[in-house]
Structure 1
Amino acid sequence: MPPRFRPSPSIFNSSPRPLLTPKPPHPHPLNRRLTSNKPAKPLLTQRLHALAQRIQLGARARTSRLLGHPLRALAFAVKFLAFGHLVMEYGIWPRAVAGPSMLPTIAVAGSWALIDFTHRFGRGVQVGDLVAYHIPINTQSGLKRVLGMPGDYVLVDTPETGGDTMIQVPPGHCWLIGDNLDASRDSRLFGPVPLGLVRGKILAIFQPFRSFEWVKNPMQPSS
């Protein structure tokens, strides 16, 4: 009996082969840069604008936290005023000065004195220094030159009057006079000034936007 014909499974049962897709060409670097999915970098002006907005929002947030509560705002104001008072009374601060008693060192009007209040009560003050002080016969403040410290002998009157009376400055006091003796009310009128009334030492004399000059002690040798 002749053998039966059996079809080959490789012809009828084989799965179809997938079609080959062509490989895309390698993109050009310029095209790849233009068609990139990465977000474009912001311009410098946009960056600066965004930074300014962040700083402004941060400042507003800090201000709102600081001043958001009335008690917090009051505490901040008290601290600010206390710090300002410490600087003005115990640090270095300018004060306006006027009057003819210190001519020609200080002009009659428009001058300011830079005062070092760490020299209050006469600490570190020497003969020849300019000091700010409370006038003992009224409630005003003045600016005069130190002529004598405790233990020094000073002439009570001016040389033009012909007087030769001298006194010794008592402990805890100083003798103050003005550079313009004819127009000055100083220790010749109210006597030795307690060192407790000395407020500070003058560092410089200036007129805003015009002149500035450091004050030098004429009794000290120049360096």
Structure 2
Amino acid sequence: MLVEYARFLFPVVLVVLVLRSFVAEPFRIPSGSMLPTLEVGDFILVNKFTYGIRLPVLNTEILDLGAPQRGDVIVFRYPENPSIDYIKRVVGVPGDEIAYYNKVLYINGKQAKQEPKMPYQPAFPNLKRFREQLDGVEHDILVNVMYPAGDFIVTVPPDSYFVMGDNRDNSRDSRYWGFVPEQNLVGKAMLIWMNWQWGHWPELGRIGTMID
């Protein structure tokens, strides 16, 4: 009986492992660094096929299918501790000059479009919401007007990416620890498939939301 169960389960387990390693993998959002795009408790699906196929453990690329574009929300291995997965938005690709003045992005000398939106939440009057556009990708960001701007200018080196959280003043990102090496990429965040936090009812309206 056990042998029969094993014969039945083995191909199922094998398919799951292959899909998780090369095609798609679920992740849970643990912090508010990507608010308002992603909330704490969001369960997301990450497409690991978008940027190519890598061998697990060895992390050797066996098929190149593309590269992250400005505006992509990506999951990657944290450069200072690759055992930890991070999620941020790509704002700079190899060769880009990225500047940040008065909490506004400039990419290769051109200002990223920002339009003010309705307040984020009445309980947080210092958090201002803007609609930002990066290469045609529109998304909302949060800016805390009480925090200093932290102006900077950098050039993204080859095979690297500059990333930032959408919650601009509550995100540890490339401004603090540097660039994301291409070899650290895990995949592109595609879809919210569930939302749940301990002690809270699931936010059913977020289920099935595509991540922009």
> Which TM bucket (shorter chain)?
0.5 to 0.7
1:201 is paired with a residue whose SS is: strand
- Residue in 2 aligned with 1:146? 90
- Measured against aligned partners, the alpha-carbon deviations of 1:118-168 in whole angstroms (never above 9, x if no partner) come to 0246834210010011111122111100011111111278734353x4221
- Check if 1:88 corresponds to 2:8: no
- Check if 1:97 corresponds to 2:29: yes
Runs of 4+ in 1 over 6 A off after TM superposition: none
- Residue in 1 aligned with 2:134? none
- Residue in 2 aligned with 1:110? 41
1:183 is paired with a residue whose SS is: coil
Asked if structure 2 preserves the Cα contact closer than 8 Å seen for 1:119 and 1:199, the reply is no
1:189 is paired with a residue whose SS is: helix
Structure 1 residue 175: Cα displacement = 0.6
5 Å-filtered alignment, 1:166-177, equals 166-177=153-164
Asked if structure 1 preserves the Cα contact closer than 8 Å seen for 2:37 and 2:211, the reply is no
State the distance in 1 between where 2:179 and 2:210 align. Answer: 27
Identity, in percent, stands at: 27
- Check if 1:126 corresponds to 2:72: no
Distance verdict in 2 for CA 1:85–1:162, change over 3 Å: closer
Asked if structure 1 preserves the Cα contact closer than 8 Å seen for 2:76 and 2:184, the reply is yes
| Structure 2 counterpart of 1:151, one-letter code | G
Q: Which has the higher contact order (CA 8 A, sep 6+)?
A: 2
Q: Structure 1 residues 187-196 or 88-97, which shifts more?
A: 88-97
Asked if structure 1 preserves the Cα contact closer than 8 Å seen for 2:73 and 2:88, the reply is yes
- Check if 1:161 corresponds to 2:149: yes
Q: Find 1:136's aligned residue among 61, 79, 83.
A: 79
2:33 is paired with a residue whose SS is: coil
State the distance in 2 between where 1:90 and 1:162 align. Answer: 38
Q: Which runs of 5+ in 2 are unaligned?
A: 53-64, 104-147, 196-203
Equivalent residues, number: 146
Q: Which runs of 5+ in 1 are unaligned?
A: 1-67, 217-223
- Residue in 2 aligned with 1:186? 173
TM-score (norm 1): 0.57
- In angstroms, what is the RMSD of aligned CA positions? 2.5
State the distance in 1 between where 2:28 and 2:149 align. Answer: 32
Distance verdict in 2 for CA 1:82–1:156, change over 3 Å: farther
Structure with larger Rg: 1
1:174 is paired with a residue whose SS is: strand
Give 1 or 2: higher strand fraction.
Answer: 2
